[in-house]
Amino acid sequence: MGHLHMKINELIKAADISKNRVCKDLDIPRANFNRYCRDEFQRIDANLICKLCEYFQCEIQDLIEYIKDE
């Protein structure tokens, strides 16, 4: 079994913006956002995924990847 990796940190770095800016722009609690950035989530909020795709002008595969565990 594998796990999901949220590529938020990579997108933030490429856009040269801060996590605080993203949280403010999208009205997301910073603590929740940090859990996604660290891949420490149990469930994915579909509305958040849509907001992030719109915000970063990306497709879902640019945001989430499946990583196989060895």
Residue 67's SS3 state is strand
| pLDDT tens string 1-57 | 899 999 999 999 999 999 999 999 999 999 999 999 999 999 999 999 999 999 999
Entry pTM: 0.88
Note whether 26 and 15 are within 8 A (CB).
Answer: no
Query: CA–CA separation, 34 vs 23, rounded Å?
Result: 10
Give the DSSP H/E element, type plus range, for residue 49: helix 46-56
Residues in the chain: 70
